[in-house]
Structures are given as C-alpha cells and as structure tokens.
Amino acid sequence: MTGTIYGIGLGPGDQELMSVKTDRLLRNAKHVAFFRKAGRKGQARQIVEGMIPEGAVEFPMEYPVTTEIPLTDPRYNEILSAFYKEVTDHLIALAQSGEDVVVLCEGDPFFYGSFMHIYTRVKDVVPVEVVPAITGMSGAWTATGAPITWGDDVLTVIMGTHSEEKLVEHIQLTDALVIMKIGTNFDKVVRALKAGGKYDDAYLVQFATMPKQTVCKLSAMTEKVTPYFSIIIVHGQGRRP
Amino acid sequence: MTGTIYGIGLGPGDQELMSVKTDRLLRNAKHVAFFRKAGRKGQARQIVEGMIPEGAVEFPMEYPVTTEIPLTDPRYNEILSAFYKEVTDHLIALAQSGEDVVVLCEGDPFFYGSFMHIYTRVKDVVPVEVVPAITGMSGAWTATGAPITWGDDVLTVIMGTHSEEKLVEHIQLTDALVIMKIGTNFDKVVRALKAGGKYDDAYLVQFATMPKQTVCKLSAMTEKVTPYFSIIIVHGQGRRP
C-alpha cells in the first residue's frame, strides 16, 4: 500500500481557523514535513505548536538559499531545483514505503504557496491530496472589521515586487486591493498607492489572526513594517442596499 | 449580559473544510439564522445539514425579492433595506436578551458575502464577531489540481456581470483569473475570455468540494452551466524553479 502526501493548508495562523480536516490530519500524523529557513524554527511549524502527536517524525526542509542570491541569478533556480528534488525524493520514498506524510503549508497551499513546488514533482508518482485553507489575506481583511468586496467589486491581488508603473496601473483599475510581499518594497508601494489614488483608504495588517496582530491606516504608520506577515488592504465600495 | 452575533463562514461546501471554530460554534448553537430564497431550503442551511444541535431555534431570513426586480429599480434597494432592517432588529433583540446567535455564511463572510448587510447594521449596537472561512474560489482552484498563482502572479477576481469591454480589459491585464456570477452572463464571459486571450486556458468548476463537483476545460463545456455554484479559473504561470 502506497501512502499519501497531504499538503495541508494551515490558514492565517490561528489554530482555531484551521479546517476540521487539517486539524484531524495533523493530530493523527506520523510524518510531518515543513519548509524553514536554516537556523529558524519555521513559521509553519510554529503555527502548529502543541498539535503534533508525540512520536511523530518531523522532517524540516531547510532552504539552502533565500535572499542571499538574487532571483535573477541562474544559480538561484539551479540550487532551488536541486533542493526540491532532494526533499521530494525523501517524501516519495516515505509514501512508497506505505507511510502517509503531512506537509505543513502556511495559508492556502495553491495560493502563492511553497507546497506547489513539491506538488508538481510528486503528483504523477504517488497519491497526493491538497487541503485548501483560509488565506492570509482573508485573515487580514477580517481583521480590518470591514468587508473587502461588495456587490460586483473587482478584487486585485498583487505583490509589492512589481514595478511602480505596473502597481499604479492595477491600483487605478481595481475596486478592492490586496498587496503582499511588501517588506523592502514598502516605499515603492506607498508611492504607487498615492499615484493610484488609494493611499488614504489603505490599511496595513500585520500578523493577522495571531496574538501580535495589528491593524492601522497605512497613512498612520510610523514604525517599520514587519517584512513577512504584512498585508495591505483597500476595501471595495460597491453596491449595497 | 448581552449576547454576541457570530457571522460564521461555512467555506465552499464540504463540512470537513469548515474551520474548527465554525464547527464548534455551530455544534453548540442555540439560535441559527440564515438567508434563503422563499420556498427553498437554503444553500447555507443545506451545507450544515446534521450539524445543528437538536432544540436549536432556526431563523430563516427569506429574501422578499431576488431577480424579480432589476437591481437598477429604486424599489429593489427600498425593499431590501426594509428586509435587512426587519431581520437585524430580530437578531439584535435576541442578543440584547442575552442569547448568542450564529448566522450562517456561505464561503467567507467578508468576501462578497450576504452577512455584511447584517454586519454593518448591528456592529455598533451589539457585540458581533466574524469568523473567516475558505472561499468558494479556493475550493474551485484546489479542485482543478493546479496552483492558481506562482511567484509574483497578479490575481484578479471579477464578476461576469460587468460589461464585455471591462471584462476584456481585466482579463488582458492579469496573470491569474477568477470569474464568478457567470449564470446568464455565460456567453458574454466566453467572448471576453476569447478576446482577452485566456479562453483556451480557462477551467469551469461547478459545485467545488461538494459531491456533485465537476471540473472541465471551459472549451470542452457542452452542457448548460449551473448558475449558482460555477466559477471560472485561469491559472497564473509565474516564476518557478
């Protein structure tokens, strides 16, 4: 009997916001794999603290490189590809020996998730199942206390990594807006929001649904933003009775 | 002691994909409210079949009008406003008498949800809490067996109700795409996808995560689409090692 590789979405961070299915798979897991930066505990692993059964085998998959080499350097792809092959070989071997493995995925696995790099490499070899989850952005817009979209609002989700020109074009065209990957792109994103006419309506949510959660108008930000768990939200203002 | 109104997201339809929190609130509920079309069981109510405790009081909130009057008719807003006032008065009275009430919300309450019409009317009067959930679109892209977004892909969510011109503009500009409210707009949406160069890559998902789920290339569709639970998905093709 071949085992199954489960890519389980953990949601935005609050353990109570995990799905019943993810909760069940996690609490019965024998093998738990997760990505992390070398030397760190790992964000996904921290979210499930206290939920993994005693005796389960943990398999931390440590990125050989994160921001040390620019994305445009061909070595970046080479190193990452070799790393993904190595870890997926291990997961496949486990499944082929009859073991089920859960792979922890922050947010929703198929929405900008790291699990997709495993998924595409294992899906034609062993059984694999993806468990969707609440996205980080959903945790963020819920935290603002106002609906992200009404009626027929258009919603655009964009990363702060794009050029200022491209950001402005999308910001102008959409009704509701979510911006992620802000970190070092913060100043550019602020300029683009101003040029696109949405700066005054933008909220910054940090650590959504987690104990450290903060929500404030972007224009009221005085401190430096947290690179990893920051999301900018602009609410749509569509039709409502 | 004033009670709390909980807007609980039910997710895309599979009971196992509800959050642990929604599951808990539902199985301990004393008052359960939900919208439905007059004479129907109600989609949200059907999703929770078997989960509501015996003895809980159900409060179906029946829309006085759905598609009988066009949205542009001023009477539409008047009738809906009066209806929302009537049902929220009842929910507020329950909370003020010390009872907690759960309001069932398909998908994620703050993402094109019907709960927001209650939320805005009660939030300054009695305690209210929104429980986010897995969106229907997340259930749909997971069903396609491929990630919706990679790397820095832009994602646009748009309703089929918009003009063909506006649809084409957004379809051309985005990487990944989700189209909802397809129903009677089907032919227009197909024309817009063709004009925007994404028709051949589009998938149609019906009844995502539910027993009746179907996934097929839009170009292979031969039958009429189900108006209510249909979502069109075009996957981004961004950077990947």
Angle between helix axes B186-195 and B164-173 (nearest 10 degrees) is 40
- Are residues A120 and A27 located together in one domain of the fold? yes
Residues paired with A101 in a beta bridge: A5
| Residue B113 belongs to domain with CATH number | 3.40.1010.10
Q: Cβ contacts (< 8 Å) between A48 and chain B: which residues?
A: none
Instruction: Given the cut 0.90, state whether the ipTM is greater than it.
Output: yes
Whether residue A3 has pLDDT greater than 70: yes
What is the average pLDDT across B108-125?
96
Which pLDDT belongs to residue A36? 94
The percent of chain A in helix, strand and coil, each rounded to the nearest 5, is 35, 25, 40
Q: Domain of B211? A: 137-234
- Inter-chain contact A110–B156, Cβ cutoff 8 Å? no
Please indicate, yes or no, whether residues A10 and A116 belong to a single structural domain of this protein.
yes
Mutate to test the interface with A, among B14, B15, B18, B19 (most CBs of A within 10 A): B19
Chain B residues in contact with A123 by the CB 8 A cut-off are 145
My answer on whether A130 and A16 are in the same domain is yes
Q: Is residue B239 part of a domain?
A: no
Selection from A11, A57, A55 nearest residue A32 by Cα? A57
Tokens for B148, please give them: 């919706």
Amino acid at A26: L
What's the pLDDT score for residue B223? 76
What's the CATH code of the domain at B185? 3.30.950.10
Whether residue B24 is found in the same domain as residue B117: yes
- pLDDT-based confidence at B58, cuts 50/70/90? very high
| Phi, psi (deg, nearest 5) at residue B161 | -75, -15
Backbone angles phi, psi at A149, to 5 degrees: -140, 140
Instruction: Give the C-alpha separation, B103 to B78, whole Å.
Output: 23
Question: CA of A217, closest CA in chain B: separation in Å?
Answer: 19
Asked, for residue A22, whether it belongs to a domain, the answer is yes
- pLDDT per position as a tens digit, A4-62: 999 999 999 999 999 999 999 999 999 999 999 988 999 999 999 999 999 999 999 99
Closest chain A C-alpha to B223 CA, distance in angstroms:
26
Segments of chain A assigned E as strands: 5-9, 31-37, 57-63, 101-105, 128-131, 155-159, 176-180, 202-206, 214-217, 230-234
State which residue of chain B sits closest to A17, comparing Cα positions: B19
Alpha helices in A41-135 (DSSP H): 43-47, 74-96, 115-122
Asked if residues B118 and B91 have their Cβ atoms less than 8 Å apart, the reply is yes
- B133–A134 C-beta distance less than 8 A: yes
Question: Does residue A108 sit in the same domain as residue A167?
Answer: no
Longest alpha-carbon distance in chain A: 58
Contact list, A157 vs chain B (CB under 8 Å): 149, 154-157
Residues in A touching B169 (Cβ below 8 Å): 173
Same-domain check for residues B89 and B167 = no
Residues with Cβ within 8 Å of residue B95, at least 6 apart in sequence: B2, B3, B4, B5, B101, B122, B126, B127
Q: Which of A130, A148, A150 is the closest to B142 by Cβ?
A: A130
User: What is the SS3 assignment for A45?
Assistant: helix
Whether residue B151 has pLDDT greater than 70: yes
Looking up tokens 């994305």 gives A71
What are the residues whose beta carbons fall under 8 Å from the beta carbon of B75, sequence distance 6 or more?
Answer: B69
- Whether B134 sits inside 8 A of A133 (CB atoms) is yes
Measured CA to CA, the distance from residue A192 to residue A167 in angstroms comes to 6
Q: In this complex, do B19 and A19 lie within 8 Å of one another by their Cβ atoms?
A: yes
Residues of A in contact with B241 (CB under 8 A): 76-77, 80-81, 84, 117
Same domain, A127 and A166: no
Domain count, chain A: 2
In this structure, the answer to whether residues A75 and A147 fall within a common structural domain is no
Last residue of a domain, one of A108, A134, A160: A134
Range A220-238 average pLDDT: 85
CB pairs < 8 Å spanning A and B: 171
Q: What is the pLDDT of residue B76?
A: 84
Query: Does the pLDDT value for residue A241 go beyond 70?
Result: no
- Among A111, A131, A161, the residue with its CB nearest the CB of B149 is A111
Query: Residue A166: which H helix or E strand, with range?
Result: helix A164-173
Instruction: Name the residue among B5, B42, B117 with its Cα closest to residue A239.
Output: B117
Same domain, A21 and A106: yes
Confidence of residue A201 (pLDDT cuts 50, 70, 90): very high
> Measured between CA atoms, how close is A198 to chain B, in angstroms?
17
CB contact under 8 A, A241 and B77: yes
Do A105 and A14 share a structural domain?
A: yes
Q: Which residue, chain included where needed, has tokens 């019907």?
A: B114
Q: Which of A110, A120, A168, A185 to mutate to test the interface with B (most CBs of B within 10 A)?
A: A110
Residues B44 and B162 in one domain: no
Residue B227: per-residue pLDDT: 67
Same domain, yes or no: B127 and B155: no
B89 falls within a domain: yes
Final residue before a domain boundary, out of B89, B110, B134 = B134
Closest CA of chain A from B34, distance in Å: 18
What does the block give as tokens for A49?
A: 């603290």
